[in-house]
Amino acid sequence: MKRILAINYKAYETAFNEVGVELARASYRLSSKHNNVRIILAVPSIVLEKVSNAYDDVFLQHIDSFGFGAHTGFLPVESLKYSVARGSLINHSEHKLAYRDIEGSISVLKSIGKESIACADTPGEALGLAYLEPDMIAIEPPELIGTGIPVSKAKPEVITESIKAVKSVRDVAVLAGAGITVAEDATKAIELGAKGVLVASAIMKSKDPMIVLNSFVESMDTF
Amino acid sequence: MKRILAINYKAYETAFNEVGVELARASYRLSSKHNNVRIILAVPSIVLEKVSNAYDDVFLQHIDSFGFGAHTGFLPVESLKYSVARGSLINHSEHKLAYRDIEGSISVLKSIGKESIACADTPGEALGLAYLEPDMIAIEPPELIGTGIPVSKAKPEVITESIKAVKSVRDVAVLAGAGITVAEDATKAIELGAKGVLVASAIMKSKDPMIVLNSFVESMDTF
Amino acid sequence: MKRILAINYKAYETAFNEVGVELARASYRLSSKHNNVRIILAVPSIVLEKVSNAYDDVFLQHIDSFGFGAHTGFLPVESLKYSVARGSLINHSEHKLAYRDIEGSISVLKSIGKESIACADTPGEALGLAYLEPDMIAIEPPELIGTGIPVSKAKPEVITESIKAVKSVRDVAVLAGAGITVAEDATKAIELGAKGVLVASAIMKSKDPMIVLNSFVESMDTF
Amino acid sequence: MKRILAINYKAYETAFNEVGVELARASYRLSSKHNNVRIILAVPSIVLEKVSNAYDDVFLQHIDSFGFGAHTGFLPVESLKYSVARGSLINHSEHKLAYRDIEGSISVLKSIGKESIACADTPGEALGLAYLEPDMIAIEPPELIGTGIPVSKAKPEVITESIKAVKSVRDVAVLAGAGITVAEDATKAIELGAKGVLVASAIMKSKDPMIVLNSFVESMDTF
């Protein structure tokens, strides 16, 4: 079964400079070697094209749930049909939305053949999101994000309870995130039933992003 | 004196498809012929690179006033130093900000050598913006935006009063916008004291965007 | 089984003037006569005390999910412990919240002995809310709110599907709302399995609010 | 010349409990003794009536800039015509608004005979607000709010520059706030040209709110 390693570039400086592109090149090389691991890069819209030139499994970090029109400075979800983006994160802990906007975005993404990763803080939120049939649900307790304390060790019950809640509605793949720092945190999440992980600072703020990326992919592949 | 024709792509479908790129190519050709008119294209972040390949005087439509960090789905103003964007619209009528965020964004744009066009609904708002020394201030009465009723004819006093308010603080170039539909609306705004215009639907929703663009540039040049 | 008639005063003029107080007096009289109907008045915070002097089953329309502190112009949920309010609407269609804020508010309300009515647009949203154990869930398709087209007739499946979704998690009372105009719309909702209704413009914008209120209570009681 | 002591209750616990009412009683007593000081209490909407029973110069902390209608959980500015509130704070540092909403609120408040205190972070913001002719402008550098470091000592130039900016437009009374802790901070602000001060935690979080209130009023009166 294919594992998912989703890397959220966030708005770290490395998301915009050469590091982000190098990560894309490395993802390209690693993906061809490790068939059991799907690497997804969730990048700021402004670098989407630049990153996509090096690697093609690229998502946006947020899209706006309305249609084309007079919306200066917003990104209508339907505009993705003109884009190389494969899909989008939705409702990330740092960009929370009302349920109706999550619903609208997932629905349009489906209709234009794009994927969605809907994010949840808690099992209850994951339960409601499962009803909307996103392609993936990422569970991330906000209090652990960016702390280096991995959800898979500190709050394994959040992962297992979220998976249980999601599966009670339908079979949506669940990713785990928040505090995932080393490859072992990822394999631990997979042991708990997750399909993969959502990682950010562990790679984007690392001194050696390529080495960390490499270790995640290798561990998740041989797992 | 150089006139400004700023085109706000907004989030119209043409902003994302081939029309947006054709407008960039046309802007490149027209700019070399008409030295008295500066054409600025304000585009969605996701097409910035694509449009910039054809024409280099390109702005964003919005940027977020904070620094690099854990801000999933936002675009920190300082990230523009890694971007080909020449600057950004700020505080557009469809994307209003608190004053402190306008202040922060203009200040960072200056520090990284980028330009700003701060938008105002009214003379009073323009007055406060002038204090921040943006490169340009665009005055657009929101009730006329997208109506086809040009501000330069329907509410000339908003333009003249805004210019007066701005000049009482310092000498910032003022653009006029809202309902600007034909080239004559632009030249009328210039007669009233504006440095140029901010146009959107007249071009982006036109059946012949290149013809409309052409007529604006020619009229503003020969004026 | 006791039926619920929840009246959302919204921010109609009648919410603030003498009508709102008369409705409270009428609710007091009707409640003592009709033991099978619980009337809840959801009022603006500014009239809470005035309305509560006439009738004591009064809710707020919104509360903010944070604690006491430097939050000028906001209403911390825990402040309700000093208030006569019995509880609060949360996440109304006109005041949508992120899931985490709904979660925080319901949790604090419980801890201080106050009730919550969490609002949902759709069955999926109701499902996620049920996980949080609010005292009641009100389902209101936003496209019918204020139209006079009753959800119980136009979209009965939204009511039944929501009830099914909620009951799959736990036994929370479901109210139906949106377009409820005459007493028959309410009894129809009850026939579909709802515990009661959430009504606004039918009463607040009526020429004879007391007569409409009376007809709702009588129909729901004899049902 | 009458001095202004405006006390922002914020959402501290004391705003909602007996302390808030005692402060109102004390303000009543002090006001009759000290004719040169006007005490304004800016309170949460939910306690407006309770506080107003003890003292009548009471403001709200925020109002919403739209009219009566279907706005669940919001407080339309025009609803104040049915309220004992004398006016409202607008655009406080903890509740920032777009300029258009400030403009709309001040305009409606004027039309219904209520007062406004518009808040500014910086001289530039104060300049734009002056154009709208609020009754008072309160300047508060946000970085000092709640710190105990008084603006009148740490950043006197923010006060003087704001007064200068405001007076360049029209003669609006300027209050100074942020970090005002002891009576001397208030008199220092008045020496710098302020009409009075906006105080919050110094009183609301004090162990002896009545004593602090008393010392402010006495100092400002004898000044």
d(CA B16, CA B29): 21
Check residues D208 and A148 and name the one with the higher pLDDT.
D208
Check residues D147 and D174 and name the one with the higher pLDDT.
D174
- pLDDT of D113 reads 98
Q: List, for residues B51-95, the tens digit of each pLDDT value.
A: 999 999 999 999 999 999 999 999 999 999 999 999 999 999 999
Confidence of residue B145 (pLDDT cuts 50, 70, 90): confident
Confidence of residue A26 (pLDDT cuts 50, 70, 90): very high
- Give the mean pLDDT of A22-41: 96
HEC assignment per residue over C29-77: HHHHHCCCEEEEEEECHHHHHHHHCCCCCEEECCCECCCCECCCCCCEH
**Is the pLDDT confidence value at A223 over 80?**
no
**Is the pLDDT confidence value at A60 over 90?**
yes
CA distance B3 to chain D (A): 27
CA distance B53 to chain A (A): 12
- Give the mean pLDDT of A148-157: 91
In the block, residue with structure tokens 């009545």 = D210
Summary mean pLDDT of chain A: 96
- Interface mutation vs chain A, best among C91, C92, C96, C99, most A CBs within 10 Å: C99
Confidence of residue D218 (pLDDT cuts 50, 70, 90): very high
- pLDDT of C183 reads 93
d(CA B186, CA B169): 25
- pLDDT of C177 reads 93
**Is the pLDDT confidence value at D123 over 90?**
yes
Q: Which CATH superfamily is domain D3-222 in?
A: Aldolase class I (3.20.20.70)
DSSP B82: G
For chain B, percent of residues with pLDDT exceeding 70: 99
- Give the mean pLDDT of B168-191: 95
* CB pairs < 8 Å spanning B and D: 63
The answer to whether D138 and D156 are in contact (CB under 8 A) is: no
Q: List, for residues C116-134, the tens digit of each pLDDT value.
A: 999 999 999 999 999 999 9
Q: List, for residues C41-95, the tens digit of each pLDDT value.
A: 999 999 999 999 999 999 999 999 989 999 999 999 999 999 999 999 999 999 9
CB-nearest partner of C94 from D15, D71, D200? D71
The answer to whether D47 and D59 are in contact (CB under 8 A) is: no
For chain A, percent of residues with pLDDT exceeding 90: 95
**Is the pLDDT confidence value at D223 over 70?**
no
The answer to whether D172 and D135 are in contact (CB under 8 A) is: yes
Q: Quick check: B16 and A82 CB within 8 A?
A: yes
- Give the mean pLDDT of C194-198: 97
D167–B contact, CB cutoff 8 A: no
Q: DSSP characters for A81-125?
A: GGS---EEEES-TTS---HHHHHHHHHHHHHTT-EEEEEESSHHH
- Give the mean pLDDT of D185-190: 94
- Interface mutation vs chain D, best among C72, C105, C108, C143, most D CBs within 10 Å: C72
Beta-sheet pairing, C136-139 with C173-177: parallel
Q: List, for residues C136-191, the tens digit of each pLDDT value.
A: 999 999 999 888 899 989 999 999 999 999 999 999 999 999 999 999 999 999 99
Q: Quick check: B122 and D129 CB within 8 A?
A: no
Q: Phi and psi of A169, rounded to 5°? A: -100, -55
- Give the mean pLDDT of A123-127: 97
For chain D, percent of residues with pLDDT exceeding 90: 95
DSSP B11: B
- Give the mean pLDDT of D178-190: 94
- pLDDT of B222 reads 81
Summary mean pLDDT of chain D: 96
CA dihedral (C155, C158, C163, C164) in degrees, to 10, reads: 120
**Token digits for B223?**
């004026």
Q: List, for residues B113-141, the tens digit of each pLDDT value.
A: 999 999 999 999 999 999 999 999 999 99
Rg of chain C on CA atoms, in Å: 16
ipTM of the modeled complex: 0.95
Q: Quick check: C100 and A120 CB within 8 A?
A: no
**Is the pLDDT confidence value at C223 over 70?**
no
3-state secondary structure of B206: coil
CA distance D99 to chain C (A): 17
pTM for the model stands at 0.96
D68–C contact, CB cutoff 8 A: yes
Q: Which positions ≥6 away from D53 have C-beta within 8 Å?
A: D24
- pLDDT of B223 reads 66
Confidence of residue D222 (pLDDT cuts 50, 70, 90): confident
Q: What percent helix, strand, coil does chain D show, rounded to 5?
A: 45, 20, 35
